[in-house]
Amino acid sequence: MSLPLVILGTGGSVHDVLDIVEAVNQRTPTWEVVGYLDDARPAGSRHLDLEVLGPLHVAERFYGHAFVNAIGSDSTFRRLPEILQSTGLAPDEFTTLIHPAASVSSRAQLGRGVTVNYGVSVGGGAKIGNNVILCPGCIVGHDATIEDYSILAPRTVISGHVHVGRGCYIGARAVIRQRIRIGAGSLVGMGAVVIRETDAGSIVVGNPARPLLRVNPLSLTSLSETGK
């Protein structure tokens, strides 16, 4: 019997989530997507042939359902912890979705609510936190760590032993050199090549990547460990 699944958000990541569900179900019927929770669309409206069930704060009405996050962009990523915590959902109510065409080492550790898209590779010893989005084609090298609420855009390369802090956004086709630490709440621009560590809240761009600016530390409160 298929398990009921509720998608949080109706942004572009919804397409990836639906693609994963479709690919999984083609092999073994597993999920039945019952609809979305979203603050930007009215309850009862439809998006991609599925119903908007209500705003995010009514998530607890769907007790017994599994949830997956489809909220995440370079403009909202720093608010993602706050947004998901506002739903009142516990970590174990989020499900991890892995596309059959992804490669995840049996020695990697994945948290709850992770979406692993088509063509993703996760190496042995890698640790992926809760509610992380791995977009199509990105590579997470061996022994790398991706902390909670981070988003890796398509075709990013995270080399071995890299540590990506909580709530980061790594832009499309960016490359992070091995053993580099990316501070919490950082944004790495598309195509950037990062060869030095970044402070929390940094925005870095270019090849080699250089700081563009740094956000006010007060805006990173929800990304601290105490903000979990």
pLDDT digits (tens, 9 = 90+) for 111-133: 999 999 999 999 999 999 999 99
Is 224's pLDDT higher than 90?
Answer: no
Nearby residues of 226 by Cβ (< 8 Å), 6 or more positions away: none
Question: Is 79 in the same domain as 102?
Answer: no
Q: Which domain holds residue 57?
A: 3-93
Question: Is 40 in the same domain as 63?
Answer: yes
Q: What is the mean pLDDT of residues 177-204?
A: 96
- Sign for the pseudo-dihedral over CA of 184, 182, 205, 167: negative
| 20: exposed, middle or buried (Cβ count in 10 Å: 0-12, 13-18, 19+) | buried
| Residues catalogued as catalytic | 142
CB atoms within 10 A of CB 140: 30
Is 187's pLDDT higher than 90?
Answer: yes
Domain contains 222: no
CA distance 123 to 178: 13
38: domain CATH number?
A: 3.40.50.20
CA distance 140 to 211: 23
Is 216's pLDDT higher than 80?
Answer: no
Question: Is 89 in the same domain as 192?
Answer: no
Domain contains 214: no
Of the ranges 55-59, 120-124, 174-178, which one carries the lowest mean pLDDT score? 55-59
Question: Is 148 in the same domain as 136?
Answer: yes
The pLDDT value given to residue 220 = 52
The pLDDT value given to residue 227 = 37
Instruction: Say if strands 151-152 and 169-170 run parallel, antiparallel, or are unpaired.
Output: parallel
Q: What global pTM score does this model have?
A: 0.90
Q: What is the mean pLDDT of residues 144-152?
A: 97
173: domain CATH number?
A: 2.160.10.10
Domain contains 213: no
Domain contains 88: yes
The pLDDT value given to residue 228 = 38
